[in-house]
Amino acid sequence: MKIFLVEDDVYLNSAIVNTFSAIDYEVISYSDGKDAFENLNGSYDLYMIDINLPNVNGIELVKQIKSINKFANIFIISADRNIETIVTAYNIGCTDYIKKPFDIREVIAKIEHTLKLMPNNIVFKDNGEYNRVERIIRDKEVSIKLTNKEAMLVDILVKNRNKYVSNEDIEAYVWGESFKHGHVRQLVSKLRAKIPFKFIDNHTSNGYKISITVNKEDEI
């Protein structure tokens, strides 16, 4: 679980990071809106954004996240209880609006619930399907179990479905902040060698993508 946190209250920021780290969530945190804006990418499972931030506010961050990945899960965490602010947050694409003060156990429950809503069986546009729980790719002829890194590669492409993901974003998701430059190509080649049909597209400048059968959710 990779979380992008933006919270300018240093004590709350630290408390969230420590609590999430204790349950094996990986958290990248910022306290300044501008710093967060400059480091945004589409490689996170969840974004937790405060609204009232220095330099760039949370609403602008949410808009930017959605421009990068329209399927991103975004939690607004804010003491602002103005109904117009809440409506605006939902209208621009936040998944949930959590009012401060909050019990961190509720936030964890909401995170786990939100991520369970993503379907376990992902149908590729041209061939086969992927089971996220079993980490297996299937078609009528094969059933291939993926390694951890192979599954992470497929996961980030599924999260950004039908859109190219850069090598840098894939590296950050699969290998963490200690980037393994050049290893994405090796990992893709290894996965393609295991699967007897093409399901990952690549573009020299833009990176890689998986095309998934369009459904009502994808058309939103």
Going residue by residue through the chain, which has 220 residues, state the pLDDT in tens, using 9 for 90 and above.
Answer: 789 999 999 999 999 999 999 998 889 999 999 999 999 887 788 999 999 999 999 999 999 998 887 778 999 999 999 999 999 999 998 999 999 999 999 999 998 888 776 666 777 776 788 887 788 888 877 788 998 889 888 888 887 777 888 888 888 778 765 555 678 888 999 988 888 788 888 887 788 988 776 443 443 3
What's domain 2-116's architecture?
A: 3-Layer(aba) Sandwich (3.40)
Could you give the residue range(s) of every CATH 1.10.10.10 domain in the chain? 121-210
Scanning the structure block, which residue is given the tokens 């994808």?
A: 218
Could you give the residue range(s) of every CATH 3.40.50.2300 domain in the chain? 2-116
For the chain, list the strands marked E by DSSP: 2-6, 26-30, 46-50, 74-78, 96-99, 121-123, 129-131, 136-138, 143-145, 200-203, 207-210
Q: Domain 121-210 classified CATH 3.30.43.10?
A: no
* Residue 139 contacts residue 129 (beta carbons within 8 Å): yes
Looking at residue 151, the DSSP 8-state letter turns out to be H
Is this prediction's pTM over 0.75?
no
